[in-house]
């Protein structure tokens, strides 16, 4: 359930776990003794609620009239729900713009660190990573203060320099402002994943390139990038999941931009509003399940494409 917290995170998993015959083991039930505790808690906090969501999605409860079984009606409603799809389109846009920027910057910093051409490399590495230690709540509160056009930093800059910075919380800019917060939180994190993957590229590969007289850029495009493709794909997939689950940032900024951040701003926020403001637990569960399926499909497609290019 750690997935409930920081969105847009890419877990550092540069490459996949090796699935190959394990030396010195035989197929037996012993492994369950070790993984059992994890699975048990997992079943309690993930599977049981998930099953219950599925169950809920087949019913409808009314303030007047109680609960009735409605079969797949809720799913039909969700597929035709404009408010839901608008939210999906919004996070889709967010994803298409924010994720490449964030991962691109993270990659550039990782490559710069790895090139060995930076002054004060260690300081760079830890400093860029620090925002990851800031809770999403604190990050959003902080940026929310700074976004203020009067009291905040934006207002200060306008006053001090006679500048006319636009209001970051206006309808046109709000999504970008959220993107900025998420980018700030997770650049360092992704950078570290890429950097870790870069560091373990076998030295022999560089030696070969050196003999061929390849320049820095050539080394990056021919050796480094292909070598960390796995890390890139995984970071992308987890950023996609994070974007689709966008919740903390909009829900805290909502107070500052109530007319822009509607209760259906992101699909996740929509399920939250349905459940907690509207008491529509059944429909909320349905929307969440549809969104979960959608996320899995997109992640899967990205993974397939990412891999095919590499082959």
Q: Which of residues 203-232 bind other proteins (CB under 8 A)?
A: 203, 206, 210, 226-231
137 near other proteins (CB under 8 A) = yes
Among 165, 166, 170, 176, binds other proteins (CB under 8 A): 170
Q: Which residues pair with 66 in a beta bridge?
A: 62
Nearer to other proteins, 96 or 248 (CB): 248
CA dist 153 and 158 (Å) reads: 8
Collapsing DSSP to helix, strand or coil, 13 comes out as coil
CB 243, min distance to other proteins, A: 12
Among 98, 177, 190, 273, binds other proteins (CB under 8 A): 273
Nearest CA-CA partner of 14 in 234, 248, 272, 242: 234
Structure tokens at 123: 């300081």
CB 96, min distance to other proteins, A: 19
Nearer to other proteins, 96 or 307 (CB): 307
Among 35, 165, 176, 208, binds other proteins (CB under 8 A): 35
CA dist 75 and 282 (Å) reads: 10
Instruction: Give CA separation, 12 vs 47, 180, 186, 238, in Å.
Output: 24, 21, 12, 9
Instruction: Give CA separation, 37 vs 41, 97, 298, in Å.
Output: 6, 40, 31
Residues between 233 and 252 that touch other proteins (CB under 8 A):
233-234, 237, 241, 244-245, 247-248, 252
Residues between 4 and 23 that touch other proteins (CB under 8 A):
4-6, 11-20, 22-23
Nearer to other proteins, 71 or 258 (CB): 258
CB 306, min distance to other proteins, A: 9
CB 80, min distance to other proteins, A: 13
Q: Which residues pair with 60 in a beta bridge?
A: 68
Pairing assessment for the beta strands 66-69 and 59-62 based on DSSP bridges = antiparallel
Nearer to other proteins, 96 or 137 (CB): 137
Among 74, 102, 152, 250, binds other proteins (CB under 8 A): 152
CB 93, min distance to other proteins, A: 18
301 near other proteins (CB under 8 A) = no
CB 10, min distance to other proteins, A: 10
Task: Tell me which H or E stretch contains 61.
Answer: strand 59-62
Among 78, 84, 197, 250, binds other proteins (CB under 8 A): 197
CB 49, min distance to other proteins, A: 4
Assess contact for 8 and 237: CB atoms under 8 A.
Answer: no
Nearer to other proteins, 96 or 170 (CB): 170
Instruction: Give CA separation, 165 vs 39, 145, 150, 151, 169, in Å.
Output: 52, 15, 11, 14, 11
38 near other proteins (CB under 8 A) = yes
Name the DSSP class of 173.
Answer: T
Nearest CA-CA partner of 176 in 109, 240, 101: 101
Residues between 89 and 128 that touch other proteins (CB under 8 A):
105, 108-109, 112-120, 124, 126-128
Structure tokens at 253: 């900024």
Residues between 61 and 90 that touch other proteins (CB under 8 A):
61-67
Burial of residue 161, with CB atoms counted within 10 A of its CB: 0-12 exposed, 13-18 middle, 19 or more buried: exposed
């Amino acid at each position: 359930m750690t997935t409930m917290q920081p969105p847009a995170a890419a877990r550092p998993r540069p490459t996949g776990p090796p699935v190959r015959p394990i030396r010195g083991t035989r197929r037996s039930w012993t492994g369950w003794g070790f993984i059992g505790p994890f699975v048990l808690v997992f079943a309690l906090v993930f599977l049981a609620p998930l099953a219950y969501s599925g169950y809920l999605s087949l019913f409808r409860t009314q303030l007047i009239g109680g609960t009735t079984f409605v079969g797949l009606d809720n799913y039909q409603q969700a597929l035709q729900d404009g408010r839901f799809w608008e939210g999906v389109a919004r996070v889709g846009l967010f994803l298409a713009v924010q994720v490449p920027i964030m991962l691109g910057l993270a990659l550039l910093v990782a490559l710069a660190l790895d090139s060995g051409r930076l002054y004060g490399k260690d300081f760079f590495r830890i400093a860029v990573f620090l925002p990851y230690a800031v809770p999403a709540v604190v990050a959003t509160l902080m940026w929310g203060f700074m976004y203020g056009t009067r009291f905040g930093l934006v207002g200060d800059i306008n006053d001090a320099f006679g500048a006319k910075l636009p209001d970051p919380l206006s309808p046109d800019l709000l999504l970008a402002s959220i993107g900025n917060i998420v980018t700030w939180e997770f650049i360092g994190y992704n950078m570290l994943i890429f950097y870790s993957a870069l560091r373990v590229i076998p030295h022999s590969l560089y030696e070969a390139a050196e003999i061929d007289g390849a320049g820095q850029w050539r080394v990056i495009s021919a050796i480094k990038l292909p070598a960390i493709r796995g890390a890139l794909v995984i970071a992308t997939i987890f950023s996609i999941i994070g974007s689709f689950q966008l919740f903390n940032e909009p829900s805290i900024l909502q107070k500052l931009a109530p007319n822009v951040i509607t209760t259906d701003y992101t699909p996740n926020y929509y399920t939250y509003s349905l459940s907690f403001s509207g008491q529509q637990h059944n429909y909320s569960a349905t929307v969440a399940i549809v969104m979960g399926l959608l996320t899995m499909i997109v992640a899967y497609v990205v993974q397939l494409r990412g891999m095919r290019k590499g082959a």
